[in-house]
Structure 1
């Protein structure tokens, strides 16, 4: 039996209703070759490892795939010491754990150290109603190969990693007023991230820091999908715009307070670049906005927006959006525009602003013609 444990590479445990922990100090070393660990429907499970801060560095060093579903007794997944040794971990999938508060927890402050998830490419966190953060400590997190990050129905999650919020991150650059915490700070690095999906982040107020660019992060993003984040007011600050050179698809749905997609900094005066510069999206081909009742515009500045590859634009249930941008918008390859339930004709002589404004002007005229007052007047004249 011991020989079997020493050589085991895949372990799946399902529907063991009384199981409290998977490994103890007496058997963990026998699973040093474990590559796949799947834990499903274990409602009383509280620990993968009970004494998580008193184990040797060999623990889980070969683990590649981790799946945890329906383990409602678990509040944390790993300690910092274990996380630092997950050198081969390729994917994390944590679903439907009602009490989970953090994926990685720090028992003692290690402010100047760094956790590197060297091989992690996919992270999916779904339906974790008490999750506050991925990591609760102050170390820097680096994900050099992470390509996909999905966070769904984690409504208490305000920040990905607590880290340290600098003075620049915590205060308004003009008024000194407190900013909400950015979800992604400079203490987290995603140089290879391609797909970012967040659905159901009701505690999320700001995605990126407004004043401090995140060096080498998010520069490979191809797809961004944000949905049901009802405290979010702005998607992107000016500081991150030039990092989105690979962005192809942007979908934003059902964010009640969202007013702008891109926002210039709040200063007493705009910089020359913000006023007269140009933002070029070379690969962005698809934009979809739906059910954003507070959305006023795509961009609040006056610089030129150039969408080299944009061919499809959909705007639905965004009733306050009367203009796309306050500067020039160039869309040489735009083929289809949908506003509401209507497909709007695209003309090479008209920009997006012209198309949107013409649509809402016509809609206003139609609404007046159909109003009860006009109908009564018509009936009287007849």
Structure 2
């Protein structure tokens, strides 16, 4: 039996409805030294009665120094993954994924761990925890954990656990507060030293918390983070607080959705205002979805603003309280796609100054916003003030019941690359623009599926569509 366990390299156990334990070593009588197993990958799926993977002290018989990947799914009675004494063997572990289990702690207490436990996972690069509704802590006691090579961290639907904390209360503090249950509810990650120095992707989805970050985090924490996904995350008001701007200087993609309490994406006030404008210089994509409380991406009066000159895609959908998309002075010199849908409080989309910066914009989509009156707001510019959308090829204006024109100002608009344009369900749009406009490559305007119109030029076409809609021919 022991020899077979030693030579085992890959174990997948699935759909065994009566299995209660995976490794039962209590019957093995070992006289020789502890053996080393070759097991490198462990997959357990759909084992509804499994209560534990290992018996309490497997390290007395076998060590698991070659284990690289652990994937556990649909084991509803499983309360923990590893006994604490086994963790020291996991020096080769690279991937840990746990879904839809009854897990209460990742590491369970045993007799071989000191009072303040320290767990090190030197080679783990991917950690995914999903739908663990009973998870309360990483370890039920005072501890620290280190993840020096972790690149991907995804925590989804773990509502009973706090993810990050700078410190935990002492036993004396907990006893004084009369809440001994707090000994069990330890944070998933205790950040006392530099945390996640190599983390590149962080996904937080449906976790009950009032904040993501803490100001006490060491400065170099999260310094390589490139992708941040925040979805249905507790009562968070601001996605990126001002003190995190310095730490997230490598951020490239930001995705926020279904966070009902979020009012602001970036907070700029109160911290290193002289340098914060440069902190997000690598951000390329911002995708915001279903944020009903969002009023602005950052406050208009924040000086200086953000450096978003690397931004290539800005998509904002279903943010009904949004009153302005960006401050008037922001520059989007590399923006390729601007897509704004169902943001009912917007009366205009961008300022003339922002419009002038959109020299690389190729796609402009605007729709479903019932208060929108113009796309480019009128700031009283000079009649000869020209705005050129050099690269714009596709423009969509859809379901905008109060849109009267693209701009009511006297600006000169030029669209040298515009080839495809949709104007649909915009009943109050009388004219495209009150100033001169050139569209040398545009030959027709789509007004419905497989229905196109064109007469002379864009202004004439839009005006005739208005007359036709209101029966004024």
Same fold (TM over 0.5): yes
CA distance in 2, matches of 1:79, 1:6: 20
1:170-181 alignment, distance < 5 Å = none
- Change in Cα spacing, 1:217 to 1:26, as seen in structure 2 (3 Å) is farther
Contact kept, 8 Å, 2:257 with 2:288, in 1: the verdict is yes
CA distance in 1, matches of 2:119, 2:188: 18
Matched, 1:96 2:100: yes
Matched, 1:37 2:42: yes
CA distance in 2, matches of 1:142, 1:207: 19
SS of 1:87's equivalent in the other structure is coil
Deviation of 1:43 after TM superposition, in Å, equals 0.9
- The superposition leaves residues 259-299 of structure 1 with CA deviations (integer Å, 9 ceiling, x where unpaired) of 1222256xxxx45x327852332321110111101112223
Deviation of 1:326 after TM superposition, in Å, equals 6.1
- Rg bigger for which structure? 2
Q: Tell me the equivalent position of 2:157.
A: 153
Contact kept, 8 Å, 2:120 with 2:146, in 1: the verdict is yes
CA distance in 2, matches of 1:84, 1:184: 18
Out of 123, 135, 139, which is 2:127 matched to? 123
1:310-325 alignment, distance < 5 Å = 310-324=311-325
1:186-335 alignment, distance < 5 Å = 186-187=191-192, 189-201=195-207, 203-209=208-214, 211-264=215-268, 270=270, 273-274=272-273, 278-300=277-299, 301-324=302-325, 328-335=329-336
Q: Tell me the equivalent position of 1:10.
A: 10
Deviation of 1:140 after TM superposition, in Å, equals 2.1
- The superposition leaves residues 173-231 of structure 1 with CA deviations (integer Å, 9 ceiling, x where unpaired) of xxxxxxxx997652372111111112222x1221110x213343211111111112242
CA distance in 2, matches of 1:25, 1:163: 38
- Change in Cα spacing, 1:276 to 1:75, as seen in structure 2 (3 Å) is closer
- The superposition leaves residues 5-61 of structure 1 with CA deviations (integer Å, 9 ceiling, x where unpaired) of 221111222222222212234459666222111111111111112214x74395322
Q: Tell me the equivalent position of 2:356.
A: 348
SS of 1:250's equivalent in the other structure is strand
Contact kept, 8 Å, 1:290 with 1:318, in 2: the verdict is yes
Contact kept, 8 Å, 2:144 with 2:189, in 1: the verdict is no
SS of 1:297's equivalent in the other structure is coil
CA distance in 1, matches of 2:139, 2:332: 41
- Change in Cα spacing, 1:309 to 1:349, as seen in structure 2 (3 Å) is closer
CA distance in 2, matches of 1:328, 1:72: 54
Equivalenced residue count is 344
The unaligned stretches of length 5 or more in structure 1 are 167-180, 371-378
Question: What TM-score does the superposition give when structure 1 sets the normalisation length?
Answer: 0.77
Q: Tell me the equivalent position of 1:176.
A: none
Contact kept, 8 Å, 1:41 with 1:71, in 2: the verdict is yes
SS of 1:125's equivalent in the other structure is strand
Q: Tell me the equivalent position of 1:171.
A: none
SS of 1:3's equivalent in the other structure is helix
CA distance in 2, matches of 1:95, 1:227: 18
SS of 1:261's equivalent in the other structure is strand
- Change in Cα spacing, 1:136 to 1:112, as seen in structure 2 (3 Å) is closer
- Change in Cα spacing, 1:304 to 1:160, as seen in structure 2 (3 Å) is closer
- Change in Cα spacing, 1:335 to 1:328, as seen in structure 2 (3 Å) is same
- Change in Cα spacing, 1:295 to 1:6, as seen in structure 2 (3 Å) is same
Contact kept, 8 Å, 1:236 with 1:262, in 2: the verdict is yes
Matched, 1:362 2:379: no
SS of 1:299's equivalent in the other structure is coil
Q: CA RMSD in A?
A: 3.7
Deviation of 1:62 after TM superposition, in Å, equals 1.7
CA distance in 2, matches of 1:57, 1:215: 43
Deviation of 1:250 after TM superposition, in Å, equals 0.5
CA distance in 2, matches of 1:294, 1:90: 39
Deviation of 1:305 after TM superposition, in Å, equals 0.7
Contact kept, 8 Å, 1:104 with 1:134, in 2: the verdict is yes
